[in-house]
Amino acid sequence: MTTHPYDRLTPDMIIDAVESAGYLSDARLLALNSYENRVYQVGIEDSTPLIAKFYRPERWSEAQILEEHRFSLELQDAEISVVAPMVNDQGATLHTFEGFQFALFLRRGGYPPELDNLDNMLVLGRTLGRIHAVGRAGQFKVRHSLSVQRMLSDSRALLLETFIPRDLVPAYESLTADLEQQVRSVFSEVQPEDFIRIHGDCHVGNILWRDNTAHFVDFDDCCAAPAMQDLWMFLNGERHDRQLQLSELVEGYSEFCDFDPRQIRWIETLRTLRLIHYAAWLGRRWEDPAFPRSFTWFNTERYWADHILELREQMSALQEEPLQLL
C-alpha cells in the first residue's frame, strides 16, 4: 500500500504544530477546501481561530515560500487588501514541525465576488492595479516565471505518456502540437519587461469579497508573468459580456497602474496554457488520496473526450479577433 506525505498530518499533529508556534489550541479543527496544500481552521483558547496552511512537501523550497511571504507582506504594508502570513516576535512567517513547513494566517470572512456585476469588476481592477504597481517595483529571485515550456510542453508530455487513453492519443497529440505552435507564435511577442510579480492564480475562489472590498488570499502560485495573467480569468460569458467586463477591469486597473493594450491579444493564449496545465496538475497529484476523492470525474474516458473537445474550441478561440475595450 502506497502512502502519501500528508497521511502523517493527523489532527493531533496539526494542533501540536500550531502550539509549537506559541498558540494554545482548544482542539477545534476544521479542514478547509484546499488540495494543493492542506489548510485548516484551528481553534485557539480565548481567541479567534487561526488558519494554518501546511505546504505540500517538496513542491516549493524554503526560499521560494519566503519570497511568496515577503511579496504578500509588501502588499499588506502598502495597505492593499491581501491576507498575508502572520509574523511572530522573531520576524518569522514560516514554521517547521515534524518535516512539514507551515504558516499561520488571521481568519478573514467573505464570499466570492459576483462577476456579472460590473461595479465589482471595477473594484477588482483597482485592487489588481495596486497589486501590480507594487509588483513592478521589484523582482522575484527564486519564484517561477510563467513559460510555455513548463505550462504546456511539459504538461503535454506527461499527459501523453501517462494519462491520455490510447485511442485518443493521435487526436490529442496532433491537436496539442498545433496549439503549442499557435501559443509559441503569440508568446514570442512577450518581452522580458512584461514579466512582473503577480498573484498568479486569480480566480473567485481566491478572493474574499466583503464590504465592497476584494481581499486577495493564497499567493501560493505567485510568479513573474505578464499582468494579463491576473486579469483574464475574471472574464466570462459571450464576447460582448467579456468586452464589458474587460473594459471595467482596465478602467479600475489604470487608476493605479499603466495597462498595456498589447496584452489583450494574449488572453486566449494564456487560457490555452491554463487548460492544458490544469489537466496535468490533476495528473501529477493523482497519487494524493485527496484528489481521487474530490475530482471523481478526472481521468475517465468521458473526461478526456470532453477535454479534447474543449481544446478544439480553444483552437477556434485563438483564431478570433482579440477583445476590444468599449
Both 49 and 130 in a single domain? no
Cell of 253: 486597473
Q: Are 319 and 236 in contact (CB under 8 A)?
A: no
Q: Which of 7, 46, 201, 220 is catalytic?
A: 201
Which residues neighbour 176 within 8 Å (Cβ) at sequence distance 6 or greater? Answer: 152, 156, 276, 311
The CATH number for 50's domain is 3.30.200.70
Residue 324 lies in a domain: no
Both 157 and 286 in a single domain? yes
Q: CA–CA separation, 279 vs 233, rounded Å?
A: 17
Both 46 and 181 in a single domain? no
Which residues neighbour 313 within 8 Å (Cβ) at sequence distance 6 or greater? Answer: none
Q: Of 106, 127, 148, which residue constitutes the final position of a domain?
A: 106
Residue 201 lies in a domain: yes
Both 12 and 39 in a single domain? yes
Both 148 and 262 in a single domain? yes
Q: Of 55, 81, 106, which residue constitutes the final position of a domain?
A: 106
Both 139 and 94 in a single domain? no
Q: What is the pTM of this model?
A: 0.95
Q: Which of 218, 220, 221, 288 is catalytic?
A: 218
Residue 325 lies in a domain: no
Residue 326 lies in a domain: no
The verdict on whether 178 is a catalytic residue reads no
The CATH number for 247's domain is 1.10.510.10
Tens of pLDDT, residue by residue, the chain (326 residues) = 457 889 999 999 999 999 999 999 999 999 998 889 999 999 999 999 999 999 999 999 999 999 999 999 999 999 999 999 999 999 999 999 999 999 999 999 999 999 999 999 999 999 999 999 999 999 999 999 999 999 999 999 999 999 999 999 999 999 999 999 999 999 999 999 999 999 999 999 999 999 999 999 999 999 999 999 999 999 999 999 999 999 999 999 999 999 999 999 999 999 999 999 999 999 999 999 999 999 999 999 999 999 999 999 999 999 999 999 98
Q: Are 220 and 69 in contact (CB under 8 A)?
A: no
Q: CA–CA separation, 198 vs 131, rounded Å?
A: 7
Expressed as residue numbers, the domain containing 72 is 5-106
Both 149 and 270 in a single domain? yes
* Total structural domains within the chain: 2
Residue 113 lies in a domain: no
The verdict on whether 119 is a catalytic residue reads no
Both 14 and 138 in a single domain? no
Residue 283 lies in a domain: yes
Q: CA–CA separation, 225 vs 192, rounded Å?
A: 9
Both 95 and 137 in a single domain? no
Both 150 and 101 in a single domain? no
Residue 247 lies in a domain: yes
